[in-house]
Structure 1
């Protein structure tokens, strides 16, 4: 009698496990189809981010070039203004050095990135590896 009850409980638990596995399988299949649909959008977004980073670098370089071009003109137009600012800076630095200030603790270094970013992988490589991994697991 007890063995019959134990067998019934085991069969019920196996049935519940099979049902749960079937539900999870359907959800994973649906997720994989959504990821496949999202792949072009994620790639386009990744490329847009890369382009924007390049644009920022180009803008910084252009600003530096413009600064180097205009600095001699400003110095020629106002030769004494740089000396005045330099004198004020030296006076402020001397005053700061004369006043004792407690040493501030150095800020903690940021934690190193974890995972593929630590190896120097680009965002495009990360996106590509994500979708390749998800495809290989789906097969």
Structure 2
């Protein structure tokens, strides 16, 4: 094989080999130690736009479940956060999925203790100056 190939051709061949469009195999003959035979392989099972294999697996499901994107109970489906908070005041509290959903969408990524309360605080808002925190409990 000619070792003076154009660098773009070499990088293109490497890209095709990595994607699986071309198969590469070394020749075991002693006279051609560095020669690589490149052959085309038929790859009809490589749908680039189909992401079903990525989204239909256990890792994706566990990630969605941990972040509250999967509702584990029928009553959690299509509920706004306000109605979830109102229902938790009347009932037993938040479910694990609801806590994860609220935490994933509305709470900051870094926790910082602002104050201590003897009762539940359901929501809060800082004043315009940032000196006061008004809460509802």
Q: What TM-score, normalized by structure 1, do the two folds share?
A: 0.23
- Of structures 1 and 2, the larger Rg is shown by 1
Higher relative contact order (CA 8 A, sep 6+): 1
Q: Which has the higher helix share?
A: 1
Choose between structure 1 and 2: higher strand proportion: 2
